[in-house]
Structure 1
Amino acid sequence: MALSPELLRILACPKCKGDLEALEAAPGEVEGLACPACDAVYPVREDIPIMLIDEAVPRDAWMAGKRSAKDAPA
């Protein structure tokens, strides 16, 4: 089951309230929601967006393969 397009339209960055863009691992499979303004990515685990500021991963760390805030540098 993939994230609903309706859900993706209404979700906003919890930090700046900006729009998010879906980062797909494969077509239709969203693995993260990126905030261009904050340069952060919120992971999606088991089709559930983890929209907690403490769980956000810096975009450069995300692109380097880090998928958890615990793995990423602060």
Structure 2
Amino acid sequence: MNISNKRALNEQETALYIGMSRSFLRQSRMDGERANRTIAPPFIKIGRAVRYLREDLDNWLNSQRKLVHLSQAGEM
């Protein structure tokens, strides 16, 4: 599957692109924002089709970056 030239990715392509499972995408999309859960990347719906824009995925991935070691997070 060649996704390098696509702007809008389907669920399977998105899971591959971000390195997460399709079930994560589905569950986080349905749950919305919940405490201690990773929020879903932004998505769009076209009819019944769910698509993810590559630029949104890149921004979402960048927002997941942690700048402190997890063991130090409680000390802040």
Q: Shared fold by TM > 0.5?
A: no
| Structure with the larger strand share | 1
| Structure with the larger helix share | 2
Instruction: Name the larger-Rg structure.
Output: 2
Question: What TM-score, normalized by structure 2, do the two folds share?
Answer: 0.28
Question: What TM-score, normalized by structure 1, do the two folds share?
Answer: 0.29
